[in-house]
Amino acid sequence: MYYVELLLVGLVWGCTYAMMALGLTLVYGLLRILHVAQATVFTLGAYVGLLVANHTGSLAAAFVAAGLAAGALGPLIYRLVYQPILDKPPFVALVASIGVLIAMEDGFRLVFGPYGLSFAKNTWFTTSLRFGGLSLNLVQIWIAIAAVVLLLLFALFATRTRAGVAWRATVSDPAIAESFGVSVSGVRHLSFFIASVLAGVAGVLVGLLNNLVEPGMGSVISYKGLAIIVLGGLGNVPGTLLASVLLGVVESFGTVYLDKVMDRDAIAFMFLIVVLMIRPQGLLGKAH
Amino acid sequence: MLELKGFACGYGLVQVVEELDLTVPSGRITALLGPNGAGKTSTLMAIAGHVEVQGGQVLFEGEDITRLAPAERTRRGIALAPEGRRIFPDLTVAENLLVGGYTQTAVAARETEARVMALFPRLQERYRQRAGTLSGGEQQMLALGRALMARPKLLLVDELSLGLMPAMVELCFRALVELKVQGLAVLLVEQNTHRALAAADRVAVLVSGRKVYEATGEQARRDPEMVDSFLGLKEMA
């Protein structure tokens, strides 16, 4: 039972990684930008969610507000930061992205203080469900539900809607897709919007899970997200999801069996190194 | 339909084609022939809006479209089946066609799709299949079908027969003839000179970016050695 619980906890972590990493891989697939500043969207989502939850007492309102705020910030970052430098080499956008992350992190510190805030009432955190000797709290269960629902919605969008098909065509061949009337700029904004809503919702969920929202909370998960999209095979969506879940599980077991040797956050990068030694193209990436 | 006047195109400082006058009428297949590197593909891509027009004018239905974006040209009725086909390999056949008809209303797209299916029944069989898994000939049909979904008046086709099995080449050429009979203007760039000559109503030959020969298909067919000489094939034979 203990192992099953470790597995479940790992899967839950994997779900939060998946919500972050999907957005990163979307942006990379479309623009070849490593969107490190996604972390700041995640953190903004967490703060907005916390403020709304503490003022209204409604978590539903908190998620909606966080999704909207994050969904606005992501496309704004694209418009103001990335779009003007798209014709520069990719590392320019990466440096700009890291700059945005650092500036926003210090912005959060100035506005909300350096120590972090907690939810006034976090019943999800304090309520545990027990079944068959397993124990999970409500936050963990909601993380799993939210990830599955949001990823399914995304899959439906990508395969069942006109805009989704146009979006995939643009990833594949932007010039040809555009010549048939697809708005490439629209597709880019949409990708940032989707990525950011996912990140914002994930931010609130991770805030609830730790019952803490602090300025630097996005950094580690964002860097792990980058490791995950490399693991998955850059730009490969199924690979990214698989890598997210695997990493969550490896970390979950690692914190028990490797805790004398290395920190939890180091495990992700050890895992990255090991996998890349065996499969340099990533888990599901095509060999070139 | 389409008229190039003193047309020049190229990439930055490199001019590939210069002083080209060419008319592409409706209901005719116009073949643009010539050796590798003559500027045929660049001309086609410039007409579609993907390569810079560096001089002269491109007139379509009497209007100057020289500076229009590719999508605007598609809306006006110019569609491209590009070199290397460039279908979307991870999308299904149905999805590729959807993108081709992106400028059309749902009703118009359904109607056009039915016509594409009648022209290429093979695409119907492969409808839900990933385009990347199709054979070369099927991919070429899909590239043509995708272009037709935009309901063009002018169809630009680059290297119809490249890398295809002879039976497929035949199928694709027959489709072009059928489209021309329906009134479409077709501008075809082809390395397979003899097959293109057989289908063409008009022939122009480019060598090193200049037009060196122009005739009706009939004249050119009676005079194949003349074309061959421009293509540098005579010395080889």
pLDDT tens across B173-220, in order?
999 999 999 999 999 999 888 889 999 999 999 988 999 889 999 998
Q: CA-CA distances (angstroms) from residue A211 to A46, A259, B145?
A: 11, 23, 56
Per the structure block, which two tokens stand in for B86?
A: 């460039």
d(Cα B204, Cα A72) in Å, to the nearest integer? 54
Buried-state track B165-188, b at ≥16 Cβ within 10 A, e below 16: eeebbebbbebbeebbeeebbbbb
To which residue do tokens 């980058």 refer? A226
CB contact under 8 A, B88 and A177: yes
CA distance A243 to chain B (A): 21
Give residue-wise pLDDT tens across range B69-100.
999 999 999 999 999 999 999 999 999 999 99
Beta-bridge partner residues of B237 = none
Write out the H or E segment, with its range, that includes residue B34. Answer: none
Name the residue ranges covered by the structural domains of chain B. 1-77+152-237, 86-151
Q: Do A165 and B99 touch (CB under 8 A)?
A: yes
- pLDDT single digits (tens) A135-185: 889 999 999 999 999 999 999 999 999 999 999 999 999 999 999 999 999
Candidates A66, A30, A61; CA nearest to A213 is A66
Does the pLDDT value for residue B236 go beyond 80? no
CATH for B1-77+152-237, among 3.30.1330.60, 3.30.700.30, 3.40.50.300, 3.90.1010.10?
3.40.50.300
Three-class DSSP category at B233: coil
CB contact under 8 A, B74 and A166: no
User: Residue B180 is encoded by which pair of tokens?
Assistant: 């021309």
Fold topology of A2-278? ABC transporter involved in vitamin B12 uptake, BtuC (1.10.3470)
Residue A57 and residue A55: Cα distance in Å, rounded?
Answer: 6
Residues A158 and A22: beta-carbon distance below 8 Å: no
DSSP bridge partners of A201:
none
Residue B6's Cα: distance from chain center in Å?
21
Tokens of A98: 């890291």
- Segment A72-115, tens digit of pLDDT: 999 999 999 999 999 999 899 999 999 999 999 999 999 999 99
What distance lies between CA B157 and its chain's CA centroid? 2
B187 - beta bridge partners? B30, B156
Q: Which of B75, B90, B95 faces A181 most closely, judged by CB atoms?
A: B75
Distance CA B143, CA A209 (A): 50
- Residues of chain B contacting A180 with CB distance shorter than 8 Å: 71, 74, 99-103, 146, 150
The token pair that represents A53 in the structure block: 């939850």
In this structure, what DSSP letter does residue A82 have? I
Sheet of B14-24: strand order equals B14-24, B2-11, B52-60, B63-64
Average pLDDT of the residues in A183-188: 94
- Beta carbons of A70 and A44 less than 8 angstroms apart: yes
Of A162, A169, A181, the CB nearest to B91: A169
Q: Which amino acid is at A112?
A: F
A176 to chain B: which residues are within 8 Å by CB? 82, 86, 88
Would you state the structure tokens that stand for residue A50, as one six-digit string? Answer: 């916390």
